[in-house]
Amino acid sequence: MTKGVRFMIVAILFFASMNVLIKMVPRIGPVEIVFFRSIVSFLISFVTLKKMNVSLWGNNKQWLIIRGVAGSVGLLLFFSTIKEMPLASAVAIQYLSPIFTSVLGIYIVKERVYSIQWVFFLISFIGVILIQGFDPRVTQWQLIIGVSSAIASGVAYNSIRKLKLSEHPLVIIFYFPLITIPITSVYLLFIGWVTPNLQELIILLSIGVATQFAQYFMTRAYQHDDLSKVSSIQYLGIVFALLFGFLLFDEAYTLKSFTGILVVLAGVILNIGFKNRIDKRPSF
- pLDDT (tens digit, 9 = 90+) per residue, 45-94? 999 999 999 888 888 889 999 999 998 899 889 888 888 887 777 877 77
Q: Which range has highest mean pLDDT (107-116, 117-126, 203-212, 248-257)?
A: 203-212
**pLDDT for 48:** 92
Q: Which range has highest mean pLDDT (10-14, 81-85, 102-106, 262-266)?
A: 10-14
Average pLDDT over residues 133-152: 81
| Closest to 273 (Cα-Cα) out of 233, 237, 234, 243 | 233
List Cα–Cα distances, 118 to 134, 224, 268, in angstroms. 23, 22, 11
The per-residue pLDDT for range 225-250, each reduced to its tens digit, is 776 667 667 777 777 777 788 787 77
**pLDDT for 281:** 65
- CB-CB contact of 176 with 68 (8 Å): yes
Helices 140-162, 61-84: axis angle to 10 degrees equals 150
**pLDDT for 220:** 83
- CB-CB contact of 64 with 45 (8 Å): no
**pLDDT for 284:** 46
| Closest to 56 (Cα-Cα) out of 148, 135, 174 | 174
